Structure 1
Amino acid sequence: MSYAEAIEAANSLVKIVPMLGSHPGRNDYENALLLIEYLVEYEPDSPLVEMLSAKIDKYERTAPEFAEFNARTAAIPAGVALLRTLMDQYQLTQSDFENEIGKKSLVSRILKGDRTLTLRHMQALAKRFDLPVSAFIE
């Protein structure tokens, strides 16, 4: 394949695959999400997965409509963010952490940011979920 053919193929791809252009919009973003879902399920080895993932990530980090969300997310301590993710992933409630953290009220205060995870909490959570303690450290 010549350089000219490669450039022509790339330009054709940009025209038909959402988000690969230089100025993606909201519709491109939504279409890219649908396409990546399809690719992950049916064609996980496609090079489009990596290309689209990078474009989606960049769009989500820089698009004005995500600015407030990104700011709120950045303000959440890493350990609390991980705890929320684990709760969601394993469908756990605040009451499910009595052995690792304590009473539901303490878990609630930690999730709200009124209290912080102690080293003992982090060690217990790391052991429960088979993760390194460092994953919970800010």
Structure 2
Amino acid sequence: MYIKPLRTEDDYRAALREVESLMNAQFGTPEGDRLDVLATLVDAYETRHFVMEFPDPIDAIKFSMEQKSLAPKDLEPMIGRLNRVYEILNGTRQLTLPMIRRLHEELGIPAEVLIRQKRAAA
């Protein structure tokens, strides 16, 4: 089994094509082993070259609200009075640690996302 490091975009694309062709390989077979090694190489390449940043905290809250069909009023137990909720959603007030904890616990938003600073307007 000859496998080489993925150094270029072409190497990466070729590995993806081969991974796709091996997707039905059985575990413990030579094809299954090749799939396992190639998938590991592809994952390492993607980790190095396709870095994903966390979303803006407010965008994450709004996305979670949309997914759960929540209105701003539904955030009152986590954030405070409705005017405070709107201040948070409009970006005029920062999240506090207690708010972050409650949003994480109630909405399941990762705390790592919520503690990030709001992005500066472009």
User: Which TM-score tier does this pair reach, normalised by the shorter chain?
Assistant: 0.3 to 0.5
Higher relative contact order (CA 8 A, sep 6+): 2
| Bigger Cα Rg | 2
Query: Could you state the TM-score of these two structures normalised by the residue count of structure 1?
Result: 0.42
Structure-2-length-normalised TM-score: 0.47
Q: Which has the higher helix share?
A: 1
